[in-house]
Chains A and B, each alone.
Chain A
Amino acid sequence: MPIKVRIPTPLQKLTQNKPEVDVTAKNVKELLDGLERQYPGIKDRLCDEAGRLRRFVNIYLNEEDIRFLKQESTPLKDGDEVSIVPAIAGG
């Protein structure tokens, strides 16, 4: 099931400058692993040493923050759109 993932500017060097990529995954955790397979090194930027999402990374599924859903276990389905957005903005 391909999921469309929007990549923030600071990570686009790792995705050959592509602002959007397709990844096949059943949930957010698989999506992060899938991204890493396609674009090695990207998971290190998004997750800390323990494999948890860094606190300044926000992930949205179809515009909803996954922290209001099931965090990294949030299920994904065909046609879903995921945005990775730096948390340091606004206010």
Chain B
Amino acid sequence: MIMSYVKGLKCRECGRGYPKQAIYVCEYCFGSLEVDYDYEKIKKALSRKKIAGGPKSLWRYRELLPLDNEPTVGLSSGFTPFFRAKNLARSLGVEELYIKDDSASHPTWSFKDRVVSVALSKACELGFDTVSCASTGNLANAVAAHAAQAGFKCFIFIPSGLERAKIIASLAYGAKLVAVEGNYDDVNRLCSEIAARYPWAFVNINIRPYYAEGSKTFGFEVAEQMGWRTPDHVVIPAASGSLLTKIWKAFKEFEKLGLLEKPVRSKLHCAQPDGCSPIAKAILEKAEVIRPEKPNTIAKSLAIGNPADGYYARDAVFESGGSAARVSDEEIREGIKLLAQTEGIFTETAGGVTLASLKKLIQEGKIGKKESIVLAITGNGLKTQEAIQETVGAPIAIEANVTSFEERVMGGYNVKPNVIASPPKAGEAISERRLLRRPPSVDSSQ
């Protein structure tokens, strides 16, 4: 049975209606087209019970996603881990901190699996045989992987100078990978022009109204996994600003549909790197206009100087009562290491930006120490190793004998061998255990 809850598309600026096609911009005012849902119908069809009994993927929120038919692509994406981060909380001096961890996303280790699952399912419905995108790398991986699985032809456009792992993975999935001389904004402009000439589904151009809805599932999952409530604060990295905008929309949709225990009181905070922070600057300066920038940051996945959803992200932050933070490359690297060393999660540079921003927001008193906080971790550190390789130290090289081990590894380490060899006792404090397990030389970079 075909169950559609989508009435059509609608201009976010002037409200003009459009049919459900591969279009993304209002012909009259150039505003963004958005999916127009039949919320009355959704309200009748959707309940906590229905969601809880759904698939363990982002498709458990199928009624709030813009498909007319059943999904066909990305059936295992979404529903990523959500957990209380006690070690990190202790380190930051806060009480109630949670991590939503899309570094574990299936199949390409970033939140882009969410948007691409929706975009390619929609591209399939609309009858396209070729998919494409302009990407800073994570999207490239997600489009290439899902296109391979779903049997689409695939053209991916990236700025030259992306991280090696993102390039290699995109090639491994068999995509036609095009490295454009210039930064992401150059790639994006070029793709907008190419999209007008070729009958392809560009996920973040002509399919964008559908694609962007996939980001809502990050917010839906946070609310469901917190027990049908939303936190006091969410810290979210921003590139185009779409994820932040859609997390806000997700919370408000759940509220509107009566799925939450309490009204939404969450404050959303925008995290950006110093070297590219057009949205954060506009928020901090309360500016009318978002000024484009020429990005220069190690956080390449956030290096969008001309953010499509900048205005909407700024508005969502203001509406929620949140704020923004801008952090340096050094703070980003420290953020990556802090998350790895407290919670065992190796995130990419965007995650470093998010954690460093959280730290700053706590220091500035914008996030209270007793309030509940969710940190949005959106990507995996194995993809951006270049960013920290100079600052994590090197392995200690030894010969394959005990003497060499004791000389080079344990030399000057004032713990007796029998203490090292004994297993930790039950109830032993974690910090004491760490002291025993970690030779001081590993810490030399800190």
Contacts and interface: CB of A to CB of B under 8 A. Distances in A.
Nearest to B185: A65
A57 to B, nearest CB: 5
Interface string B5-48: 00000000100000000011111111110000000000000000
What interface size band does chain B fall in? 35 or more
Contact of A89 (B24, B27, B29, B294): B24
B8 to A, nearest CB: 17
Give the size category of A's interface with B. Answer: 20 to 34
A90 B188 contact: yes
Contacts of B304: 90-91
B240 interface: yes
B26, B30, B32, B196: most-surrounded residue (chain A CB, <10 A): B30
Interface string A69-89: 000000000000001011111
A86 B292 contact: no
B189 A58 contact: yes
Contact of A87 (B184, B239, B294, B308): B308
A51 B84 CA distance: 52
Contacts of A60: 189
A56 B188 contact: no
B134 A56 contact: no
A8 interface: yes
A58 B310 CA distance: 14
Contacts of A56: 13, 25, 29-32
B175 to A, nearest CB: 18
Contacts of B188: 89-90
Contacts of B241: 91
B192 interface: yes
Contacts of A45: 27-30
Given A58-B306, A87-B306, A19 B27 contact: no
B255 interface: no
Contacts of A37: none
A65 B292 contact: yes
B291 interface: yes
Given A90-B204, A91-B240, A91-B242, A55 B311 contact: yes
Nearest to B238: A91
B208 interface: yes
Question: Interface SS of chain B: helix, strand, loop or mixed?
Answer: loop
A48 to B, nearest CB: 8
B137 interface: no
B193 A89 contact: no
Contact of B27 (A11, A67, A90): A11
Interface in B231-257: 239-242
Contact of A57 (B24, B30, B195, B240): B30
Contacts of A68: 292, 294
A89 B192 contact: yes
A88 B189 contact: no
A86 B134 contact: no
B191 interface: yes
A88 B25 contact: yes
Smallest CB-CB A-B distances: 7 pairs: A91-B240, A90-B188, A56-B30, A86-B25, A10-B27, A88-B32, A89-B205
Interface of B: 13, 23-32, 134, 182, 184-186, 188-189, 191-193, 195-197, 204-205, 208, 239-242, 289, 291-292, 294, 304, 306-309, 311
11 contacts: A8-B196, A9-B196, A56-B30, A65-B185, A65-B306, A85-B193, A88-B24, A88-B32, A89-B191, A90-B185, A90-B191
